[in-house]
Amino acid sequence: MSGLGFHNRRSVQKRLGTFWNGARLVILLGPPGAGKGTQAKRIAGQYGLQHLSTGDMLRDNIRRDTELARKAKPLINRGELVPDDIVLGMVQERIAQSDCENGFILDGFPRTLQQAQGLEGICRLYKSKSITVLNMLVKPELLIQRLANRRICKRSGHIYNLVDHPPIRPGICDDDGSELIQRPDDAEAVIRERIRTYEQHICPVIDYYSVRGLLYEVNAITDPDTVMANIMKVLDAEDPAK
């Protein structure tokens, strides 16, 4: 990955300008363990949006052992943030693809003020009425319990929780019979560092979207169906087609 990867910025922006007429952008903020991954998948299905998780993109790079992964992996394993220029370059490349044409939901991005500003710079979309930022609010003590009990289907990425939503057969995905794994950064010491890092950087991001009138808070303490119902209330009221 070379620097920002912004060498093709002009051509990407030109393409985005054509793609994104009326497309919807949803940004999901919330600490690790807030349930962003679960809700982002549901929102993507419900509203026909592409689900873009920067964590998933980084893990995919690690699986493919890319140059980017060699820089990112030690940071991820320690629960620290990957540098803004790497993440911004990765997101920029991804959202320029045609499957994002009808809109997308960003899960785990932006995580810093620089990323929020970079996103604005890339997209020049902020005059659009179709941007909604959802901030998922959870009690801190719930986060560690949720993440430490999280297991993920190796093939589909389906998320289980050993306490709240266990698989029928231990260690096996109900949907496709694949193995369930625990993310290496869901170890308790790393979880604590991820939460600390999130809190350290997120306040200016929240302020940034709040002053632009784009931010909605969502109670994410309850069960996933209720959280989704809360999210849909916001997104239906903000529907750009209405």
Contact positions toward ligand AMP, by CB under 6 A?
Answer: 32, 54-55, 58, 75-76, 79-82, 87, 108-109, 111, 115, 185, 194
Q: Which is nearer to ligand AMP, 206 or 240 (CB)?
A: 206
**Shortest distance in whole angstroms from residue 185 CB to ligand AMP:** 6
Between 67 and 236, name the residue whose CB sits nearer to ligand AMP.
67
Query: Which stretch of DSSP H or E encloses residue 51?
Result: strand 50-53
Task: Spot the catalytic one: 150, 151, 154, 155.
Answer: 150
The Cα–Cα gap between 83 and 121 comes to: 17
Annotation says 194 is catalytic: yes
At what angle are helices 67-78 and 84-95 packed, to 10 degrees?
120
Q: Is 183 a catalytic residue?
A: yes
Q: Are strands 150-153 and 159-161 parallel, antiparallel or unpaired?
A: antiparallel
> Shortest Cβ distance from residue 18 to ligand AMP (Å)?
26
Q: How far is the CB of 21 from ligand AMP (least distance, A)?
A: 26
Prior bond of 184 cis (ω within 30°): no
Q: Residue 109: which of 49, 160, 37 has the closest Cα?
A: 37
**Candidate list 15, 73, 183, 192, residue with the active-site label:** 183
- How far apart CA 58 and CA 88 sit, in angstroms, is 12
The least CB distance from residue 54 to ligand AMP, in Å, is: 3
The rounded distance, in Å, linking the Cα atoms of 192 and 141 is 11
Reading the block at residue 122, the tokens are 């890339």
By beta-carbon distance, which residue lies closest to ligand AMP? Answer: 55
Nearer to ligand AMP, 142 or 240 (CB): 142
Give me 87's structure tokens.
Answer: 């993440």
Would residue 242 show up in a list of annotated catalytic residues for this protein? Answer: no
DSSP 182-203: --GGGSHHHHHHHHHHHHHHHH
Is 36 marked active-site?
A: yes
Q: Is 150 a catalytic residue?
A: yes
- For ligand AMP, the closer of residues 81 and 235 by Cβ is 81
Which of 42, 111, 146, 151 is catalytic? The answer is 111
Tell me the catalytic residues: 36, 111, 150, 183, 194
